Structure 1
Amino acid sequence: MKRLIARALRRLGWLRYDLLISPVAQHPGKNAVPPGELWLVIDTGVKKWACMSCPGGCGVQIALSLNPDRRPRWSVETDFWGRPTVSPSIHQHRACSCHFWVKKGVIEWCR
């Protein structure tokens, strides 16, 4: 329900985001994550992966490890509306070489 309200607020211009969290139980593997979604893989209550399609439009699937014992690693926080904040920045070295931040669901491109 909250997701529907967030989409309505976005259409009205009252809420800004490029991505919303979609919690899932399994890593998508080679399945495409739909644009506008960040799949948060949660297994037995533990955040494992953050997966998304590259916002640069090259079609590459990005999978970010959330395991605190591995490097590199990222963290994902979610606000009330389901908008993700990912830390640190994401630098996709394949295909289009995008470098960006995700803050409150908004893609902020690095120079």
Structure 2
Amino acid sequence: MSMIARLFAGLIAWLQGLFGPRPLRVQFIEGDELPATLPAGRLVVAREDATLWSAGMVCPCGCGRRLEVMLLEGVKPRWDLRLNPRGLPTLHPSVWVKDGCQSHFWLRDGLVQWCGPER
């Protein structure tokens, strides 16, 4: 990618940040447990050495519920975490809350993409 193309892409990303939804940022913590309180606007990832244990976030629907997904190899259900070049997270598969608010969404490049009707 040429320098001008990178500058233009950076400008577009900056403008989207001003006027669009703010992407979730990743915060890594050492250990195998997430903190009791999760900060808004963050995907908190618990890791021990190079092993990813779990990821947690506040439900994006606004209900305030604490959501936690497992990243550890060999457990079920299990999610994969990928970080894009800007360090923004993608989780696979989607996150589906079966009770309460019943949120169902994808987290892609730090942005929540709702499944079904927008919230």
Q: In the alignment, what sits opposite 1:6?
A: none
Residue pairs, 1:13-92, within 5 angstroms: 13-14=15-16, 17-26=22-31, 27-29=33-35, 31-92=36-97
Larger CA deviation: 47-56 vs 12-21: 12-21
Q: Any unmatched runs of 5+ in structure 2?
A: 1-10
What SS is found at the alignment partner of 1:94? Answer: coil
What SS is found at the alignment partner of 2:27? Answer: strand
User: How far did 1:10 drift?
Assistant: 8.8
1:47/1:68 CA distance change after superposition, 3 Å: same
Quote the Cα distance in structure 1 between the aligned partners of 2:108 and 2:74.
24
Of the two, which has the highest radius of gyration? 2
* Structure number with higher relative contact order (C-alpha < 8 Å, ≥ 6 residues apart): 1
More helix per residue: 1 or 2?
2
Quote the Cα distance in structure 2 between the aligned partners of 1:17 and 1:95.
25
Give percent identity, aligned residues only: 27
Q: What's the TM-score, normalizing by structure 2?
A: 0.76
Q: What's the TM-score, normalizing by structure 1?
A: 0.81
User: How far did 1:11 drift?
Assistant: 8.7
Letter of the 1:104 counterpart:
D
